[in-house]
Amino acid sequence: MLKPSLNRRRITAFTLSVATACALAAPVVASPTANIPSGTFTSALQLANGTQATNVPGHWLVTLSAPSVSNGGSASSIETQQDKLAEAIKDAGINAKITNNYDQVWNGVSVSVSDSQAAQLAKLPGVVSVQPVIEVPRPEVKTSKDLTTSEGETKYSWGAPLGMTNADRAQSELGLTGKGVKIGIIDSGIDIDHREFGGTGVSGSGTSREKGDGAKADGAVGFPNSRVIAGYDYVGDDYGANGTYDPKPDPIPDDCGGHGTHVAGIAAGGGAAGSSTEVRGVAPEASLGAYRVFGCDGKTSTDIIITAMEQATKDGMDVVNMSLGAAYMVLPDYPTTKAVKTMVDAGVVVAIAQGNDGADGLWTLGAPGAATEAITVASVDNTVETNYYFTASGVDNKFFYNVGSNGGDFARSNVAYPVVASGEADSEDGKLCTAPSDTNAFKGKYVLIRRGGCTFGTKAANAQKAGAVGVIIDNNQAGTIGMDLTNATDPVKIPAVSITQADGDALRAALKADTTVTFGDTFGDRPVSTGGLVSDFSSWGLNGKLEMKPDVAAPGGLIWSTWPLDHGGPFNTISGTSMATPYTAGAAALILQAHPELKDAKNASTSEGVRARLQSTGSPRLWSEGNGDKTLLEPTARQGAGLIDVYRAASTKVLPSVSRLNLGQQIAGEKTHEITLTNSGSEAVTYKLGHVDTVTTTGESSKPTRGTTNGATVSTDGTSVTVPAGSSAKIAVKVSAPAGIGNGDFYGGYVTLTPDNAAQTLRIPFVGVGGNLAESKTLYKTGPVLATEKLKVVNKAGHQFTMFNDRPHVYFKADVPLIRSGLVAMRKTDDGKYEVLSDKVFISMSDKGWNRTSTRLVRWDGSYLDANNQLQQAPEGTYQLWELNAPAGADTTVLEQYNIWMSNDFTIDWRRSDYLPTIALKASGDVTAAATTATADASTSDADPRNGKPEAMVDDNVFTYAVVSSGAPITLDAGKVYNISKVQYVPNQGNDGVDSMPATGWKAEVSVDGKTWTDAGSGSLSGEAMVPQDLTLKSGAKGRFVRITLTSDKGKVGVAELRIAGTPAGDATAAPTEQPTAAPTGSAAPTAAPTGSAAPTAQPTGSAAPSNPAQPTAAPSVSASSSASALPGKPSGKPSALPGKPGKGDDNREPLARTGTTIAIGIGALVLAAAGAGALALRKRRDAEAGSEA
């Protein structure tokens, strides 16, 4: 049950208006589920800061129903289905072109089609879903804390990260090198000239390209070679730069960005063991596939990534590394995430980066790493930083540096360059965000510039304009910097490096007129104080199913690896989960070499077997904020099973059948987990059973803090277990959440199996969520609130919405991921009770998933669906809007796992009180329905059959309409003579996917007998969409009949309603024996709508959220949903209690009546009200904690 005091934020603390918040957040409006014949349509996805993911304009992904080849589908049947789709597109008159066909890991196509027509693809036969192709940013090179504790020594230490996981022992003692295993790298390519990848070590010897012109030199070594045996460049050098997505494929996947080469070196660099001049990867003899999806600069797109995933699977890659993703996309329903499952089902081990947004708190996992089947990897800081350093004349320092990516070529030529500072460290000149007026200010010199104020690319470009030959950027806080020098307006063609703040201060203080810097090929090591701890940038889980993500952790902070020869190589040190992921991919290769039965299985057991070995032998990390307290462990929601141990993973003889326990929400109840331990060894092993806890987390998702210090309760069916040699044994484990844990708090730990001999300790990590996430204090970052058309918060009951120009909005910003979000309209009856407005219950329902920080803004247009699935106009009266949200992991069939928010009472008015009831009117005229063209946010349901008939204009329902040609008359019969003062014209409301077509001019005539007509006035109209217009007639206008002529320069006029205002002028006039005299001929009748056109009855009357929320005509609407036919999942059995949640959020509305300290509303009562068999009695009173009404 929900306590009334939870989640209350007083309006006085709500410092931003909703309009301001929406303008900043660029919210995506919920599109209600519609009666879609075939598939679903998603117009936008959400990213890290709550804004929409950036769609690649005019490009969409269409999922088809047949299974992919890797899922057992037939290539020929897939081809047939895709051919039929192409025919259906043509037959439907959709101007679209299929640009890519996919069959291996996903049955679908990418389509080039205007955004306005994309929704129509969803109703074509065989279509499951239509989703946008989105931009995927370049993998981020992360900044690390000030990690070093002493000056370095000139020695090479790639052995440090290998030693951290005992990968060196796996190589030297077990003889594992990855030989015979293929690792695919989906990234920016690989520098195939590099010696570690079968090249000569000389740039341009066979495969390198000069940046910008795409030229390749001829040489003795080509592609493929002995190490890089497969791959392709899908994009070319310029793809994604400056927001342009024009692929120029190339058969040679050479790397001009650096990231892919660095990743490949970690996984499989072929350096000799112990070499001081080469990089030896985790699997140094594994073969590589290079699938280039990034250009030299800029982003890539998801359709390209899927293409690479397809090819890597076709090429038989055993392991695929994906050090990329879009942050915060924890909900695994996007095609790239689904493709991961298909690859795993085909026997491919897929290692994916967890993401680098740890500073932003919980739920920051990226896609496709959210996939259950992926092995998702967190980062641990290296114990030793290896890096190049430069020297400065007259200064006894070694200045360790990182080379920026996407800048000019960098050469370690031992040339002494003059160096100057651009200005005082913290001055505007010191930041160099504006180019000097003197174009020779830095001619021939390196320039020292302080971080801050503008992008790294801007700083370097400004130095370049003033003649600089290179740039040194020093940090403005403790730590190192990873720099991307991409600059859209002025590409950076000079090299740039970064140094720490301390080194920057030392260099700046020592500068003299003749100071020089020298970049040689010398490098060294220095210890890292945070070595072995989870990196501060490593993202948090969980995923949308509350499953453990990350799965494991590996070295990723300050990793020395290969780098393109002509872009600052041959080596470089950078940080990120991008580095931890190939480490794990290399470990997987060693495990597959050691256990060929896994490699040969070619099904999901391959990946699960690798995961089980990595997780059960992992080493938990100390809490990074624990100041060295060895009793505190990092949460499993951030480290998974802990740091991998490659030697133990490859050599363990005992394995558990379950490698992690995903406990879900505490409210869902506890269950016993049966675990089978299998011993492949020749000796029995007896284990003592126990557990250790990790730190719990509580508070806002963006700022998690330590929660309860109580630990979980773990019970087993014994204190020990013996696993016989060559046999198995079972244990039963039950985990209970810690006492005192809050709703939505994370907890975790490890079930431990400690052997009584020399065998290895096994650990099974677990993770869970306390209480009921729906009742979390931090479910919402903002709101929910009730707001007006201009997006101003409604603070008290009784606000009247004049529905055409002021309709009710509900706005909130989530702080946890949501998997379902719905809106219910509750109408107040005359006896003070409330009942569900529609038999369909929900007027809006979205199952598409809303990531943490997502913004939901819904405008109710006043429509609902009746029992016959017809769109009706809500009666005037008093209402509440109820927002039902199911957070990640919720069982959507159990109402208790929804958060229920209820608005203030408000009234709606349709501006018809001065007019005669339309039921008394009859209409005639040459009318039709409009040919429908669905917009990007519209559904694709069939058009309402009532539209296009004269009675649609006088049925007291603004959601039916007719269309007339401009200048064509419409005759209204009032049944008797009236003194008529005005006529109300209501344009069509934009339902059925048809834009509102308002008139801009009018003319009225009146007649007593329908034969003789008198001019009653004319005038111009505002042309404002959807808003009623009052047509004031001339004084003395009298008649039974009114003939209205509406005009528009667009040729057609939409009419939802016509009403007459007036007083009776005497007895009813006898009806004429013939129809009223028609208007003069010459007005062309409108063309009838195509018989095959379809349009939604249940979609927003507006499309996207307004960029300027102050403009109400652009605000989004939501209409009733034809498929939202019942409460969540129609729970069976005795109805559970509905967790009432009055007055929570920012609007301080009055609460519902309470029983004791909680509000009890029976779901049964709500269902009865929806069915018309009962009513929900609710009494209103002021909440003592609500504060005064504004």
Tell me whether strands 470-474 and 877-887 are parallel, antiparallel or unpaired: unpaired
Residues 288 and 253: their CA atoms lie apart, in Å, by 12
Domain boundary among 1064, 1088, 1112: 1064
Q: Model confidence at 555, in pLDDT bands (50, 70, 90)?
A: very high
277 vs 526 pLDDT, higher one: 526
739 vs 795 pLDDT, higher one: 739
Residues 753 and 22: their CA atoms lie apart, in Å, by 52
The structure tokens listed for 204 are: 């341009």
Q: Is pLDDT above 60 for 979?
A: yes
Q: What is the mean pLDDT of residues 252-257?
A: 93
Do the beta carbons of residue 1185 and residue 5 sit within 8 Å? Answer: yes
Residues 552 and 610: their CA atoms lie apart, in Å, by 11
Burial level of 911, CB count in 10 A (0-12/13-18/19+)?
middle
Residues 221 and 223: their CA atoms lie apart, in Å, by 7
Domain boundary among 771, 797, 817: 771
User: What range does the domain containing 1045 cover?
Assistant: 918-1064
Say what the pLDDT of residue 838 is: 83
Which CA distances in Å does 307 have to 142, 186, 291, 322?
Answer: 27, 10, 9, 13
Do the beta carbons of residue 507 and residue 372 sit within 8 Å? Answer: no
Same domain, 715 and 812: no
361: nearest Cα among 603, 638, 550, 120: 638
Which parts of 637-711 are beta strand (E)?
A: 654-656, 661-665, 673-679, 685-693, 697-698, 705-706
Tens of pLDDT, residue by residue over 494-527, are 999 999 999 999 999 999 999 999 999 888 888 8
Tens of pLDDT, residue by residue over 95-144, are 999 999 999 999 999 999 998 899 999 989 999 999 999 888 887 766 44
Q: Is pLDDT above 60 for 312?
A: yes
Same domain, 761 and 857: no
In a domain, 728, yes or no: yes
Q: What is the mean pLDDT of residues 1006-1012?
A: 95
Number of Cβ within 10 Å of residue 368's Cβ equals 30
Helix (H) / strand (E) element for 1168: namely helix 1163-1171
Residues 988 and 998: their CA atoms lie apart, in Å, by 7
Q: Model confidence at 983, in pLDDT bands (50, 70, 90)?
A: very high
Tens of pLDDT, residue by residue over 859-870, are 899 999 888 888
Burial level of 860, CB count in 10 A (0-12/13-18/19+)?
buried
The structure tokens listed for 352 are: 């994916």
Q: Is 767 left (phi over 0), alpha (psi -120 to 50) or beta?
A: beta
Same domain, 51 and 125: yes
Residues 465 and 620: their CA atoms lie apart, in Å, by 50
Give the whole-number percent of the chain exceeding pLDDT 70.
81
Say what the pLDDT of residue 47 is: 54
Residues 959 and 1097: their CA atoms lie apart, in Å, by 9
Q: Taking CA 357 as the corner, what is the angle to CA 663 and CA 735, rounded to the nearest 5 degrees?
A: 15
Dihedral over Cα of 22, 23, 28, 31: its sign: positive
Say what the pLDDT of residue 1115 is: 36
1062: nearest Cα among 962, 920, 955: 920
Same domain, 1122 and 1164: yes
In a domain, 662, yes or no: no
Backbone angles phi, psi at 295, to 5 degrees: -80, -165
Q: Model confidence at 331, in pLDDT bands (50, 70, 90)?
A: low
Residue with tokens 């006529």: 983
Same domain, 948 and 892: no
Q: What is the mean pLDDT of residues 670-692?
A: 96
Say what the pLDDT of residue 1099 is: 32
Q: Is pLDDT above 60 for 1105?
A: no
Q: Is pLDDT above 70 for 1175?
A: no
The catalytic site residues sit at: 187, 259, 578
Do the beta carbons of residue 124 and residue 92 sit within 8 Å? Answer: yes
Tens of pLDDT, residue by residue over 380-397, are 999 998 888 999 999 988
Give the whole-number percent of the chain exceeding pLDDT 90.
62
Q: What is the mean pLDDT of residues 1064-1081?
A: 51
Give the total residue count for the chain: 1190
Same domain, 1044 and 1152: no
Q: Is pLDDT above 90 for 1087?
A: no
Same domain, 875 and 925: no
Tell me whether strands 673-679 and 728-736 are parallel, antiparallel or unpaired: antiparallel
In a domain, 1155, yes or no: yes
Backbone angles phi, psi at 1085, to 5 degrees: -70, 145
Residues 1007 and 1071: their CA atoms lie apart, in Å, by 12
Q: Is the peptide bond before 1112 cis (omega within 30 degrees of 0)?
A: no
Q: What is the mean pLDDT of residues 241-247?
A: 86
Say what the pLDDT of residue 931 is: 59
Backbone angles phi, psi at 154, to 5 degrees: -80, 90
Backbone angles phi, psi at 69, to 5 degrees: -60, -45
Q: Is pLDDT above 50 for 891?
A: yes
Q: What is the mean pLDDT of residues 1079-1093?
A: 35
Tens of pLDDT, residue by residue over 19-74, are 333 333 333 332 333 333 346 888 877 654 445 678 899 999 999 999 999 989 99
Residues 304 and 323: their CA atoms lie apart, in Å, by 15
**Would you list the DSSP string of 153-185?**
BS---THHHHHHTTHHHHHHTT----TT-EEEE
Helix (H) / strand (E) element for 1005: namely strand 1001-1007
Do the beta carbons of residue 1054 and residue 996 sit within 8 Å? Answer: yes
Per-residue DSSP letter, 897: G
Helix (H) / strand (E) element for 1007: namely strand 1001-1007
Average pLDDT, the chain: 82
Do the beta carbons of residue 905 and residue 797 sit within 8 Å? Answer: yes
Per-residue DSSP letter, 264: H
In a domain, 510, yes or no: yes
Say what the pLDDT of residue 237 is: 93
114 vs 1070 pLDDT, higher one: 114
Say what the pLDDT of residue 402 is: 86
In a domain, 420, yes or no: yes
Domain boundary among 136, 166, 200: 136
Residues 372 and 541: their CA atoms lie apart, in Å, by 12
263: nearest Cα among 243, 293, 238: 293
The structure tokens listed for 908 are: 């709606």
Same domain, 870 and 948: no
Which parts of 203-341 are beta strand (E)?
A: 228-233, 287-292, 300-301, 319-322, 326-327
Residues 1006 and 722: their CA atoms lie apart, in Å, by 98
Q: Is pLDDT above 80 for 938?
A: no
Same domain, 517 and 401: yes
Same domain, 903 and 944: no
Q: Model confidence at 326, in pLDDT bands (50, 70, 90)?
A: low
Do the beta carbons of residue 908 and residue 879 sit within 8 Å? Answer: yes
In a domain, 243, yes or no: no
In a domain, 847, yes or no: yes
Q: Model confidence at 373, in pLDDT bands (50, 70, 90)?
A: very high
Chain mean position to CA 1174: 41
Say what the pLDDT of residue 278 is: 86
Q: Is pLDDT above 90 for 442?
A: yes
Q: Model confidence at 181, in pLDDT bands (50, 70, 90)?
A: very high
Backbone angles phi, psi at 624, to 5 degrees: -65, -20
Say what the pLDDT of residue 410 is: 86
Backbone angles phi, psi at 722, to 5 degrees: -110, 130
Same domain, 746 and 882: no
Do the beta carbons of residue 200 and residue 206 sit within 8 Å? Answer: yes
In a domain, 471, yes or no: yes
CATH number assigned to the domain comprising residue 766: 2.60.40.2310
Domain count, the chain: 5
Same domain, 42 and 86: yes
Q: Model confidence at 489, in pLDDT bands (50, 70, 90)?
A: confident
Q: Taking CA 228 as the corner, what is the angle to CA 224 and CA 232, rounded to the nearest 5 degrees?
A: 65
Number of Cβ within 10 Å of residue 867's Cβ equals 10
Q: Is pLDDT above 60 for 168?
A: yes
Helix (H) / strand (E) element for 99: namely strand 96-102
Do the beta carbons of residue 100 and residue 307 sit within 8 Å? Answer: yes
Residues 983 and 989: their CA atoms lie apart, in Å, by 18
Do the beta carbons of residue 30 and residue 1104 sit within 8 Å? Answer: no
550: nearest Cα among 561, 542, 562: 542
The structure tokens listed for 308 are: 């690479």
CATH number assigned to the domain comprising residue 976: 2.60.120.260
Q: Is pLDDT above 70 for 940?
A: no
CATH number assigned to the domain comprising residue 498: 3.50.30.30
Q: Is pLDDT above 60 for 1152?
A: no
Per-residue DSSP letter, 1120: -
